[in-house]
Amino acid sequence: MTERDWQKEDPTNLRAKNADTFKPMGPWIVTAIEPSAMFTQVRLNGMPVHTFPTGQMLFSPGEVISAISKYNTLSPGDVIWLGTDEVPQNLLAGDVIEIEINGIGVLRNRVAAEAQTEAE
């Protein structure tokens, strides 16, 4: 998940990609996999919007880990999200987004509207 308006204002993407609820995962984590042999499909409301061999992403998992580890200490159990190489779809409240990776399963989430506070 990325908040595009925040992304335009923050060249580091820190806020745009790391707000609470922006990193859905689970219900399990699979280890001992070979990402280059996997296939990923993203569906929006049941319709495929992005399909790609996981091993042909713009940056491999190893390249991403190497780049991050130059500036951050990584520890066992840390999770790194790699994103997508395609132009993303804008999501609306009520949309259902699914990410399926063969050998792992399907992560399915319904997009919720931002909660409003009394001050708003």
- pLDDT tens digits, one per residue of 78-87: 887 776 666 6
Quick one: pLDDT band at residue 13, thresholds 50, 70, 90?
Answer: low
Checking if the pLDDT of 48 tops 90, the result is yes
Please give the Cα distance from 101 to 108 (Å, whole number).
12
On whether the pTM is more than 0.85, the answer is no
Q: How far is CA 17 from the centre of its chain?
A: 9
Please give the Cα distance from 83 to 67 (Å, whole number).
15
Checking if the pLDDT of 117 tops 70, the result is no
CB 38 within 8 A of CB 103: yes
Quick: pLDDT tens for 103-116.
888 989 898 887 76
